[in-house]
Amino acid sequence: MTPKLKMFFSEGALPTPYLAVDLDRVAKQYRRMVKAMPWAKVFYAVKANPAAPILKTLVRAKAGFDAASIEEVRQCLAAGCAPSDISYGNPIKKSASIAEAASLGVRLFVCDSEEELQKIAQHAPGAKIYTRLGVDNEGADWPLSQKFGASASTCASLLRKASDLGLIPYGVSFHVGSQQGSPAAYIDAIHQAARIFQDVAAHGIKLTMLNIGGGFPVQYRAPVPEIERFASEIDAALTTAFGAARPFIMSEPGRYLVAEAGIVCSEVVLNARRELPGQEGDWLYLDIGRFGGLAETEDEAIRYDIVSLRQQAPQRPFVLAGPTCDGVDILYRKNKVSLPSDLKEGDRVALLAAGAYVSTYSSQGFNGFAPLSEHYI
Amino acid sequence: MTPKLKMFFSEGALPTPYLAVDLDRVAKQYRRMVKAMPWAKVFYAVKANPAAPILKTLVRAKAGFDAASIEEVRQCLAAGCAPSDISYGNPIKKSASIAEAASLGVRLFVCDSEEELQKIAQHAPGAKIYTRLGVDNEGADWPLSQKFGASASTCASLLRKASDLGLIPYGVSFHVGSQQGSPAAYIDAIHQAARIFQDVAAHGIKLTMLNIGGGFPVQYRAPVPEIERFASEIDAALTTAFGAARPFIMSEPGRYLVAEAGIVCSEVVLNARRELPGQEGDWLYLDIGRFGGLAETEDEAIRYDIVSLRQQAPQRPFVLAGPTCDGVDILYRKNKVSLPSDLKEGDRVALLAAGAYVSTYSSQGFNGFAPLSEHYI
């Protein structure tokens, strides 16, 4: 927790649940990323947290942006981003959204199917096209490749067709999954992508961009490799795969830039012992749960580290649950959380590294609970 | 689909995605429920769909309401419900919410732990208390008892303590899970509850209410037993368990009252064939998905029946996915959906029996997508 966040949390003045994000920490993380990978241009994955103060911070830092929808394109432009710094990175888009993005000056689009390529050719004539290569997500805590991605041969064929359709065949992207703990996942994907470059070159098409996606991990409860290790292994693989003819490299960090800059502050609603078979143990019910924004706790995929203001008190492992009547609104049952055993209603806890993938996931009002408030400081 | 919904869907005028609910169908379903179970008073589970037009329809029909939060209590009162017709049915509540509900005239509260009982005694002195008995959810498509519920002996002990604390020990509730296909689940729970009545009677406490919860199923893709069958089996069990001394019976249908009155209308974004291992097949991407309100498709638990306007066209089984970049935003992969094979971008489909547990689940803006619009006709 940064000093600013610690002060904010300790004051305990604001109603819970809330998200607080330290914008200086976002800027610092961006600088670390750029320093580690000076050979890549960052396109921030807006979906991780599209709040205007974050977008403006990153516009000032000269980042590009990866938008998942026309709404995110508009948010980037409203934050002062140039349309040339926006990549429309969702492999499926409505035609109307493609047309609006093109009219706003966006020139860079992804596709992974011929149907989508035809839409782009019709509604964003002359745009730059990159294809999405489907790669293994082994090692990622949150998968991204279950529903998107084409084979290397389809990617090559799409890029040739893009040329025929008057589009600019620009490059290849891949996504190794979110919260990816293994640098090796990128290496393998880079070599697959390089073969697409060679394949289309044999047909007279010169690709000039490789998008290595995001997925760089942040520390929740378990330690993860540092970004510098990812950087050096990816750098080496790029040299092996492309030699002196290295293309323009795009990266799409989302979680990595904003997660560690944020905390979610929540209040205990009930601390009670449960006795029924399958429920035995101590349960802590918070005023935020899976439907209040902590969607990534599904199947306990993302395991937030959680602290209280009284970390010195005797602790006990708790099952953690949200405030709704829904039986699936349980955060951690297998991966219990150690917290002071005497926590009681009204005591506050903070979920660390919670700046990414929380606010927008929040339901608009399940069980009547309003979305958490957001504070960018 | 009711004639009103069919006309609404066929006109195709409104932007998608949207939810449309036929209020006459809600009223009709309520009448059917009351006719089947004239011995029970309905407390509509507001969480299923808290829209004001639905609440007003049910207030006019003289239903009671089961509220999961103070926000839902306020919504019921705003719709014209008397506070005496509201049950605050969430076993965990903030003290401030209990106090506000009490000040608004709500007199009926549930608990399943001593900690919660103490809160109610302090903030709603003199209120009527019922305890929640944990029961088996076998047979339910959506579980409700994973995080709540006490043993029969704890329920009895809580009711005795309620009396000591100046509260009115009122009765017992249970929840057999949502979309429960088996009447037997209720029977077993009724007999367990009856033993609590006997247990506390031996201590001089006469309980007067049994809350049999909701969970009554609606037809998605698979047929379910009719409500009349649940009614007759539950009625018989009540007679066996309580004889002539049958308590006041509360029921808490949510899904049953509103699901079949609603459709979700969505537009196809892409129809594409996938080739990668694990993805092989035809994929249909809609403009609504798991984070746009279809949360109950998690693990394909609730399997919506989906139709297009061209049901006569040759069909093919599709994997169905939502519009976001999230890898888990897949609705049906194992339980594919048969739809016209030539569906293309912009074609509309309707998800049937979608009036419950959709609107409020919707994320407030994941990937930039706004919540679906709602129309009560």
The full 3-state SS of A253-322, as one line of letters, equals CCHHHHHHHEEEEEEEEEEEEECCCCCCEEEEEECCCCCCCCHHHHHHCCCCCEEECCCCCCEEEEEEEC
Whole-angstrom distance, CA of residue A68 vs CA of residue A55? 14
* Alpha-carbon gap: A144 to the closest alpha carbon of chain B (Å): 4
Residues 196-255 of A with CB under 8 A from B: none
The confidence score (pLDDT) of residue A12 equals 84
Closest CA to A245 of A283, A192, A209: A209
Query: Residue ranges of the domains in chain B?
Result: 23-258, 260-376
Using a CB–CB cutoff of 8 Å, tell me whether B52 touches chain A. Answer: no
Q: CA–CA distance from B325 to each of A147, A149, B339 (Å)?
A: 8, 11, 23
H or E element that contains B30: helix B23-36
Q: B244-273 burial by CB neighbour count: b if 16+ within 10 A, else e?
A: eeebebbbbbbbbbbbbbbbbbbbbbbbbe
Joined tokens for residue B100 = 């506000």
Closest CA to A121 of A149, A102, A142, A147: A102
The confidence score (pLDDT) of residue A144 equals 64
Closest CA to B257 of B17, B115, B9, B61: B61
The confidence score (pLDDT) of residue A145 equals 66
Compare CB distances from A154 to B94, B151, B275 and report the shortest one's residue: B275
Cross-strand partners of B308: B349
| Preferred mutation among A296, A333, A364, A373 to probe B, highest tally of B CBs within 10 A | A364
Compare CB distances from B367 to A69, A146, A154 and report the shortest one's residue: A69
Question: Which residues in A lie closer than 8 A to residue B273 (C-beta atoms)?
Answer: 113
Reply yes or no: is the peptide bond before residue B17 cis, omega within 30 of 0.
Answer: yes
H or E element that contains B332: strand B330-340
Cross-strand partners of B319: B283
The confidence score (pLDDT) of residue B85 equals 98
The separation between the first and the last C-alpha atoms of chain A, rounded to the nearest angstrom, is: 13
Q: Which CATH class is domain A260-376?
A: mainly beta
ipTM over 0.90: yes
What share of chain A has pLDDT > 90, as a percent? 94
Determine the average pLDDT of the residues in B281-309. Answer: 96
- Block residue for tokens 């395991």: A303
* Alpha-carbon gap: B244 to the closest alpha carbon of chain A (Å): 31
Question: Which residues in B lie closer than 8 A to residue A90 (C-beta atoms)?
Answer: 323-325, 367
Q: Which CATH code, of 3.30.930.10, 1.10.10.200, 3.20.20.10, 3.30.565.10, is assigned to B23-258? A: 3.20.20.10
- Block residue for tokens 């209308």: B265
The confidence score (pLDDT) of residue A136 equals 84
**Residue in chain A nearest B343 by alpha carbon:** A115
Asked if pLDDT for residue B139 goes beyond 90, the answer is no
Using a CB–CB cutoff of 8 Å, tell me whether B270 touches chain A. Answer: yes
Cβ contacts below 8 Å, chain A against chain B, sum to 208
Q: CA–CA distance from A23 to each of A190, A259, B75, B218 (Å)?
A: 32, 11, 37, 48
Phi-psi category of residue B42: left, alpha or beta, with phi > 0 → left and psi -120 to 50 → alpha: beta
Residue A139 amino acid letter: G
pLDDT digits (tens, 9 = 90+) for A27-40: 999 999 999 999 99
DSSP A372: P
For strand A262-274 and strand A281-286, is the pairing parallel, antiparallel, or unpaired? Answer: antiparallel
Q: B19-36 burial by CB neighbour count: b if 16+ within 10 A, else e?
A: bbbbbebbbebbebbbeb
Report whether B216 contacts B227 (CB < 8 A): yes
Report whether B160 contacts B205 (CB < 8 A): yes
* Alpha-carbon gap: B28 to the closest alpha carbon of chain A (Å): 25
Asked if pLDDT for residue B269 goes beyond 90, the answer is yes
Q: A60-98 burial by CB neighbour count: b if 16+ within 10 A, else e?
A: ebebbbbbbbbbbbebbbebebebebbbbbbbbbbbebb
Whole-angstrom Cα Rg for chain B: 22
Whole-angstrom distance, CA of residue B353 vs CA of residue B10? 17
Where residue B145 falls among pLDDT bands split at 50, 70, 90? low
Joined tokens for residue B39 = 């011995």
Joined tokens for residue A186 = 């990128």
Where residue B144 falls among pLDDT bands split at 50, 70, 90? low
Kindly determine whether residue A47 and residue B291, on different chains, have CB atoms separated by under 8 Å: no
Using a CB–CB cutoff of 8 Å, tell me whether A144 touches chain B. Answer: yes
Query: Across the 377 residues of chain A, what is the mean pLDDT of every consecutive 10-residue run?
Result: 94 94 98 98 98 98 98 98 98 98 98 98 98 90 82 97 98 95 95 98 97 97 97 98 97 98 98 92 97 96 94 92 96 97 96 97 96 97
Whole-angstrom distance, CA of residue A74 vs CA of residue A83? 10
Where residue B106 falls among pLDDT bands split at 50, 70, 90? very high
pLDDT digits (tens, 9 = 90+) for B167-192: 999 999 999 999 999 999 999 999 99
Question: Which residues in A lie closer than 8 A to residue B147 (C-beta atoms)?
Answer: 279, 283, 285, 321, 327, 329-330
Joined tokens for residue B254 = 């949510």
Using a CB–CB cutoff of 8 Å, tell me whether B314 touches chain A. Answer: no
Tally of CB atoms within 10 A around A181:
19
The confidence score (pLDDT) of residue A116 equals 98
Determine the average pLDDT of the residues in B37-59. Answer: 98
- SS3 call for B173: strand
Closest CA to B272 of B283, B286, B285, B288: B283
Tally of CB atoms within 10 A around B87:
25
Cross-strand partners of B190: none
Phi-psi category of residue A60: left, alpha or beta, with phi > 0 → left and psi -120 to 50 → alpha: alpha
Name residues whose C-beta falls within 8 Å of residue A223's C-beta, 6 or more positions apart in sequence: none
pLDDT digits (tens, 9 = 90+) for A145-161: 689 999 999 999 999 99
DSSP string for A71-120: HHHHHHHHTT--GGGEEE--S---HHHHHHHHHTT--EEEESSHHHHHHH
Compare CB distances from B151 to A177, A276, A361 and report the shortest one's residue: A276
DSSP string for B254-283: SHHHHGGGEEEEEEEEEEEEE-STTT-EEE
